[in-house]
Chains A and B, each alone.
Chain A
Amino acid sequence: MARNSSKSTAGSQAAGATRRLRAGIGIVLVLLLVIGGRLFLVQGLDFGGMAEAAVKQRTQVQTLAAARGEIIDSKGNVLARSVIRYDIVVDQTQNAIGEFDRKNAATGKLDTISRDQGIAELAAALGKSDEDVRTAVTGSRTFNYVARTVTPDVNDAVTKLAIPGIYSRPTTQRVYPFGAVAGGVVGFLGADGTPLAGLEQTMDSKLQGKDGQRSFQIGADGARIPYAPAQETPAQDGQSVKLSIDSDIQWYAQQAIQSQVDKVHAEWGNVVVVEVKTGRIIAMADSNAPDPNKPGATAAKDRGVRSVTAAYEPGSTEKMITAASLIQTGKATALEHVVVPPTYTINGQTFTDAFDHGYENRTLAGIVGFSMNTGTVMLGSRLTKQQRYDWLRRFGIGQRTGIELPGEGSGILATPDKWDGRQEYTVLFGQGVAQTTLQTAMAYQAIANNGVRLKPRLVDAYVDPDGTEHPVPTAPGTEVVSPKTAQSVKDILESTVTDGEVKEAKIDGYRVGAKTGTAESPADNGGGFDGYTASLVGMAPMDNPKYVVVAVVQRPQGSIYGITNGPVFTSVMSQVLRANNVAPSTGKPPHLPQFFDK
């Protein structure tokens, strides 16, 4: 009995323990399940987006801005570059407190600064008046500019002031250290960074790189969490563009043409310097060139590059083309004998010269040397109308040169069927046809380069951010005339300086060939002519021409006969020869006779 009862008591006790044990395990399991399920929900499924929100809160995504490439000249001088600048901005609501505490770096204590003092210090740091700064920081706006694009030094000074509500925002600015020197060629960017002019515009795809991106996680104090996942796509900086422009020559040419334009009160003027063997533009100078740092200060009409945009009637410089085509087609030689009358009438069109003369026994060299329209028309009419047109085209007249600048003009060369009775002859001496200064320069470049016309170019090379240069090869040229013809024409041009009327183009130590041009310029309103275009184009040294220089002034005031571009040409050409260490000329000038004896 006792055995039984003891057994049953023991049994019930054991059963109770097991139940409790099981219940406990059950509860634990249920709790585990709940927790596990919750864990799964939170970690695995993330219904509330908590984890995502947390990661988002920690993750910082930054755009790594690609640096815009530089524009440099042929000597490596920087003409355009991007620099770090800061906009100083204000949250006016935060600034509207009477005084604030600032830690004094020297004493390590907190100084109490009044708002007025803060404003005064800020104004001093920014170089602005107290009044301006006070206006900018006072109000209820949460964002307002106090100063824009200040230098890092100024930004540091401002940040040190620790004025409440004053923040700075990094930004980039395009600066042009050489300002107006080659300003038009380099171009400029708009306020939003859009390229608006010059090479900045045409070279934009090379200059602008590709933005990168960086994402990483930060802790509450703003420092980066070392082991957290991070991604970085580096920015690809833009390529730099190396120009053929020599900024010293460019400055010299700009100075020379600006002085000339001011002196003769011309509308505008320009100078183009071309390297004969390569077609590289050494200088492209325009009067009133814009300073790309402040393009707004220059009149809109002056902001481009007139050397390639403005087409005008060139005048007598075109006689070179007529002479070259006559010699090349065998219709005349450089010493062709012509008896030139005082006036010459053909098909009812009468032509006269700029000077009075009787019947003269002239050579073709003498006709070009003294710039006689009569003789040019007499000989030039040996060419058919189509030939005259074709030869002008061959020298690049009426076609864009393809230079890397926006808004290039093609000039105006009407087809022969549209020429009127007078125009078919005037094109022989450069009236009734319009071209840019660059086109004139390249026509002469063809003669200087033994008859091979090249494509002009401003870009020498593209430079990768790591410094690798990718030179732009010289495009193969087109042969316009034979080397023999080119030599004849060179002799004519040199005799024009030695024996003809362009003696003002002489340069000590160098043999020079040159031709002047004086054209009537059509009025902008279309009614007749209202001024003149005076130009001088020349090459040197004639024993092996290396450079062609063209100088042009448009609508100078006063008598056109007193105006000469000689000093501009000689000073620029001398500077170019001197700067490039061109050896003095050797050999004897040809001295082609300007007259013939019967």
Chain B
Amino acid sequence: MSAAPNNVQSVIGNTARALSGIAAPSRPAPKRSRTPLSVVQSAPRRRRTPFVLFCFAVLAAALMTVLVLNISVSSGQYELVQLRSEQAGLLRHNQELTQKVQNFEAPQNLAAKAAELGMVAATTKGQIDLKSMKVSGTPKPAEKADKPGAAIAAPSVSGAAPAQAASSDQQEATPLPQPVTAKPKAAAASPSTPELPSQAAVPSQAAAPSLPAAGVRSGTIPAPGQKPEQ
């Protein structure tokens, strides 16, 4: 809304154009009523600083959260690996013990053990009929017969003997709850039997159910199932 005509360039470059030949007072002043200036109460401008700070805080918080999440997930992974390896160790240990129990349950081992304890197989039996209260059959007390003939060799499950050797040092410290009457008779009945050694190994195992220590191979994460074996 300048008073100058619109087709006249009012500036050259960044300097004001020299006014030449035009006398401003000669022009009749436009009769225009001007809005009187007055002090305007400006609307209180909101300060930007808190908002910016807030944004930064949110950003920082978000970054921190992501970082913490990442760290926790990563450390969770390490813990997972650790627990997995512990689980695998326990499973192995359980399997080992189960196998020993099964070995003890083998009929020939049970029979050898029973014979060792002086037990004798019954050859006759009688029945009591509860309705008539009659005893049928001619039950006789079991007698110590002559040698039971052939004995089936104890199962030769491998690995039982070395297990005993490995824990022999612990065994010395642990008093064995073995009956004093135990004679090495079963060994004579079945040569090269792993029964006795494995049996001896059980108490020591029970005394020290040691789990595989973490990080046995110095400095690496114990992840047996997930780390390639060299």
Which residues of A does B touch, CB under 8 Å? 3, 6-7, 10, 60, 62, 77-78, 81, 83-85, 103, 105, 124-128, 147, 149-154, 156-157, 159-160, 162, 167-170, 173, 175-181, 216, 218, 221-227, 247-248, 250-252, 254-255, 258-263, 289, 291, 293-294, 297, 508-509, 571, 574, 578, 583-584
Q: Once bound together, how far apart are the Cα atoms of A547 and B167, in whole Å?
A: 48
Residue contact B106 to A181, C-beta cutoff 8 Å = yes
B148 within 8 A of A: yes
Q: B95 interface residue, CB < 8 Å from A?
A: yes
Which chain B residues numbered 168 to 198 have a C-beta less than 8 Å away from chain A?
A: 168-169
Interface assignment of B43: CB less than 8 Å from any CB of chain A = no
B68 to chain A, nearest CB (A): 14
> How far in angstroms is the closest Cβ of chain A from B209?
10
The 7 A-B residue pairs with the shortest CB-CB distance in the complex, in nearest-first order: A179-B155, A259-B149, A127-B165, A251-B107, A177-B102, A258-B150, A127-B162
How far is it, in angstroms, between the C-alpha of A159 and the C-alpha of B160 when the chains are bound?
18
For the complex, what is the distance from the CA of A254 to the CA of B111, rounded to whole Å?
13
Q: Chain B contacts of A225 at CB under 8 A?
A: 77
> In the complex, how many angstroms separate the beta carbon of A85 from the nearest chain B beta carbon?
7
A81-B99, A152-B93 are known; give 16 further A-B pairs, CB within 8 A: A78-B102, A105-B213, A151-B96, A154-B166, A156-B216, A162-B217, A176-B157, A177-B106, A179-B157, A222-B220, A223-B78, A223-B81, A224-B81, A226-B73, A259-B148, A574-B125
Number of residues of chain B lying within 8 A (CB) of chain A: 68
Tell me, in angstroms, the Cα distance from A574 to B121 when the chains sit together: 13
Tell me the bound Cα distance from A429 to B74 in angstroms: 82
| Whole-angstrom CA separation of A154 from B160 in the bound complex | 10
B132 to chain A, nearest CB (A): 12
Residues in A whose Cβ lies below 8 Å from that of B93: 152-153
Question: Does B155 contact A255, Cβ atoms closer than 8 Å?
Answer: no
Contact A77 B158, CB 8 Å, known A153-B163, A259-B149: no
Contacts A83-B99, A167-B229, A293-B158: A125 and B166 contacting too (C-beta < 8 A)? Answer: yes
B220 touches A60 (CB 8 A): no
Main SS class of interface, B: loop
Q: Give chain B nearest CB distance to A168 CB in angstroms.
A: 8
Report the minimal beta-carbon distance from B32 to chain A, rounded to whole angstroms: 34
23 A-B pairs whose Cβ atoms sit less than 8 Å apart in the complex: A125-B165, A127-B164, A127-B166, A149-B158, A151-B162, A152-B95, A153-B93, A153-B167, A156-B89, A156-B210, A160-B213, A168-B229, A181-B108, A224-B223, A225-B77, A226-B73, A226-B77, A255-B150, A260-B149, A293-B155, A509-B125, A509-B137, A584-B127
Closest Cβ of chain B to A49, distance in Å, is 22
- A257: nearest chain-B partner, CB-CB: B150
The reply to whether B157 and A7 form a contact with Cβ atoms under 8 Å apart is no
Residue of chain B at shortest CB distance from A181: B107
Measured CA separation A177–B226 after assembly (Å): 30
List residues of B (79-100) whose CB comes within 8 Å of A's CBs. 81, 89, 92-93, 95-96, 99
What is the chain A residue whose CB lies nearest that of B226? A224
The residues of B that contact A509 with a CB separation of less than 8 Å are 125-127, 136-137
Given A127-B161, A153-B205, check contact A222 B103 (CB 8 Å): no
Query: With A180-B152, A255-B150 in contact, do A150 and B137 touch (Cβ < 8 Å)?
Result: no
Q: How far is the CA of A105 from the CA of B127 in the complex (A)?
A: 64
A158–B111 alpha-carbon span in the complex (Å): 35
Q: With an 8 A cutoff between CB atoms, is B159 at the interface?
A: yes
> With A156-B212, A169-B229 known to touch, is A223 a contact of B77 (CB < 8 Å)?
yes
A154 touches B77 (CB 8 A): no
Given contact pairs A222-B221, A223-B81, A255-B148, A179 touches B154 in the complex (Cβ within 8 A) = yes
Query: Which chain A positions have C-beta within 8 A of B213?
Result: 105, 160
Which residues of B sit under 8 angstroms from A226, Cβ to Cβ?
Answer: 73-74, 76-77
CB–CB A159/B216 < 8 A: yes
Give complex CA distance A179, B157 in Å. Answer: 8
Tell whether, in the assembled complex, residue B152 and residue A254 are in contact, meaning their CB atoms are under 8 Å apart.
Answer: yes
* Chain A residues in 8 Å Cβ range of B60: none
Given contacts A154-B163, A226-B74, A251-B152, contact A6 B13 (CB under 8 A): yes
Q: Is the CB of B99 within 8 A of A223?
A: no
> From residue A371, how far is it (CB to closest CB) to chain B in Å?
28
In the assembled complex, the CB of A561 is this many whole angstroms from the nearest CB of chain B, namely 22
**Which residues of chain B come closer than 8 Å to A297, judged between CB atoms?**
156
Task: Establish whether residues B226 and A151, one from each chain, have CB atoms under 8 Å apart when the complex forms.
Answer: no
Among residues of A, the one whose C-beta sits closest to the C-beta of B160 is A151
Residues of B within 8 Å of A289, CB to CB, are 152
B34 at the interface (CB under 8 A from A): no
Instruction: Output the least CB separation between B97 and chain A (Å).
Output: 10
Which residues of chain A are near B126, meaning CB under 8 Å? 509
List A contacts of B169 (CB < 8 A).
Answer: 124
Closest to B13 in A: A10
A436 to B6, CA, bound (A): 127
In the complex, the chain B residue whose C-beta lies closest to that of A223 is B221
Question: Are B99's CB and A177's CB within 8 A?
Answer: yes
Contact across chains for B153 and A291 when beta carbons are under 8 A apart: yes
Q: Tell whether B218 is near chain A: CB-to-CB under 8 Å.
A: yes
Residues in A whose Cβ lies below 8 Å from that of B24: none
Which A residues touch B125, using CB under 8 A?
A: 509, 574, 578
Contacts of B229 in A (CB 8 A): 167-170
A7–B17 Cα distance when bound, in Å, is 13
Q: A103-B218, A159-B217, A255-B150 are in contact. Are A150 and B159 (CB under 8 A)?
A: yes
Q: Are A221 and B220 interface neighbours, CB within 8 A?
A: yes
Q: Which residues of A contact B149 (CB under 8 A)?
A: 255, 258-260, 262-263
Say how far A302's CB is from chain B's closest CB, in angstroms. 13
Contact with A along B98-120 (1 / 0, CB 8 A): 01001101111001000000000
CB pair B166 A224 closer than 8 Å: no
Bound: A124/B223 CA distance, A = 27
For residue A124, which residue of chain B has the nearest CB?
B165
Cβ-neighbour of B136 out of A105, A159, A179, A584 (below 8 A)? A584
Neighbouring B residues of A127 by C-beta, 8 Å: 161-162, 164-166
Contacts of B227 in A (CB 8 A): 218, 222
B154 contact set on A, CB distance < 8 A: 179
